[in-house]
A and B are shown apart, each in its own frame.
Chain A
Amino acid sequence: AQSVTQLDSHVSVSEGTPVLLRCNYSSSYSPSLFWYVQHPNKGLQLLLKYTSAATLVKGINGFEAEFKKSETSFHLTKPSAHMSDAAEYFCVVSVIVGTDKLIFGTGTRLQVFP
């Protein structure tokens, strides 16, 4: 069965410093992986997705993630945090190839301090 584990429930960084949100996945086949962001009172927004093309995936707002099969990881990074990045981030894996059913990680709350 497919699953994702977000290793940190809470990450705090200072504005202008790098962001690292960690995610490990478990899948019996080559998965599709996603990162979504949830701002308060707003819908989930897709940051980026990996679907077996380039292992380094660039997303919106300066975020990127690298698919590492040997480490079963899909960590989300950003070189320089902005105050507006403060939100809840979810690592997500597709359930079955060819379907849109998703399994969400438990989420990481990112706080950005001035």
Chain B
Amino acid sequence: GAVVSQHPSRVICKSGTSVKIECRSLDFQATTMFWYRQFPKKSLMLMATSNEGSKATYEQGVEKDKFLINHASLTLSTLTVTSAHPEDSSFYICSATGDTQYFGPGTRLTVL
């Protein structure tokens, strides 16, 4: 089946720094990718819809200036957490739409 990768799988950073997470569709092209956030023992919360070549669409309550999304090609979307704080620590998951929606393995972000 289709594969979606994320890099890095885990990252630890200091408060105030920015962190970039990559999401790639490895064997298919995806005009639409999604970014989710998953808190411990909680469900996935949709953060934004990433559209190739256009601005991302953010869900209510998600700060677009804090979570910058870029979808520069049909196989790559990036999520940049700017000026990260400990409360941004979470598990971030992307998905890409092919014949169905395929999910990446997730990135665990820890902000010290």
Contacts and interface: CB of A to CB of B under 8 A. Distances in A.
Interface stretch (A17-25, A66-74, A78-86, A95-103): A95-103
Given A43-B4, A46-B100, A106-B42, A101 B34 contact: yes
A43 B103 contact: yes
Contacts of B36: 104
Contacts of B44: 44, 90, 104
A105 B34 CA distance: 17
Given A101-B49, A103-B46, A42 B101 contact: no
Interface residues of B, number: 21
A7 B6 CA distance: 31
Nearest to A42: B105
Given A102-B46, A105-B43, A43 B34 contact: no
Contacts, number: 42
Contacts of A58: none
B43 A104 contact: yes
Contacts of A105: 43
A33 to B, nearest CB: 13
B43 A43 contact: no
A9 to B, nearest CB: 8
Nearest to B57: A101
A41 interface: yes
29 contacts: A41-B105, A42-B105, A43-B102, A43-B104, A43-B105, A43-B106, A44-B44, A44-B93, A44-B95, A44-B103, A45-B103, A46-B100, A46-B101, A46-B102, A90-B43, A100-B97, A102-B34, A102-B46, A102-B101, A103-B46, A104-B36, A104-B43, A104-B44, A104-B45, A105-B43, A106-B43, A107-B41, A107-B42, A107-B43
Interface of B: 4, 32, 34, 36, 41-46, 49, 93, 95, 97, 100-106
Given A44-B103, A101-B49, 15 more contacts: A42-B105, A43-B103, A43-B105, A46-B102, A100-B32, A100-B97, A101-B34, A101-B46, A102-B101, A103-B46, A104-B45, A106-B42, A106-B43, A107-B42, A107-B43
